[in-house]
A and B are shown apart, each in its own frame.
Chain A
Amino acid sequence: NAGVMQNPRHLVRRRGQEARLRCSPMKGHSHVYWYRQLPEEGLKFMVYLQKENIIDESGMPKERFSAEFPKEGPSILRIQQVVRGDSAAYFCASSPGRDNQPQHFGDGTRLSIL
């Protein structure tokens, strides 16, 4: 299956720990997007990356959250010192380009903070 791959599917962390979420885009896609969906809410854009570059991080919280998409390997969304309010589904999407291209989503990572 050459779809967008996210792991882990479920992640449980205690308050204060770090969470690392990984995303491998669909084959041939070089644009990666991260979204967060809180319970009973819509998806919210967080960050848009291309290889080794952050293009738009206007949806990222100012503190504790960071994202990268290295030359080799998956994109990583990192949340430091997690708090209960970080509990959500985090979806990654990819597209082959930027212009009017639909994005295809991974299965998401459900993050639960104890």
Chain B
Amino acid sequence: RKEVEQDPGPFNVPEGATVAFNCTYSNSASQSFFWYRQDCRKEPKLLMSVYSSGNEDGRFTAQLNRASQYISLLIRDSKLSDSATYLCVVNSWGGGADGLTFGKGTHLIIQP
């Protein structure tokens, strides 16, 4: 199963700042991409899907670069409640892998 790599952090960021994470994936046959958020000892929750054209949801912007095989997540005007682990997730179905491949996550801490 191919890997997904993320900087584990932690990223310590003051409230109100903008923060960006990148994630790289190794399977060029990957079909779909997601960012999930996981709070301590809780289940992953879908934050947003990542489309080739880039997409935005409120303060969150996700981008995909297929040529370089990386995905990014940008959080603007960060809130204390954004503190969590952000998981980069790749779906490589049809390439011999039907589950999602998760990165180990990037730990974000928003400081007041």
On A, residues with C-beta under 8 Å from B are 33, 35, 41-48, 55-56, 58-59, 89, 91, 93, 98-108, 110
Contact = CB atoms under 8 A, between A and B. Distances in A.
Interface of B: 1, 31-32, 34, 41-46, 49, 87, 91, 93, 96-105
Contacts, number: 64
Contact of A48 (B44, B46, B87, B98): B98
Contacts of B43: 91, 105-108
Contact of B104 (A41, A56, A91, A99): A41
B87 A56 contact: no
Given A42-B104, A99-B93, A100-B93, 4 more contacts: A45-B99, A98-B98, A100-B31, A102-B32
Interface of A is mostly: strand
Contacts of A45: 1, 97, 99-102
Contacts of A107: 42-43
A61 B101 CA distance: 17
A71 to B, nearest CB: 21
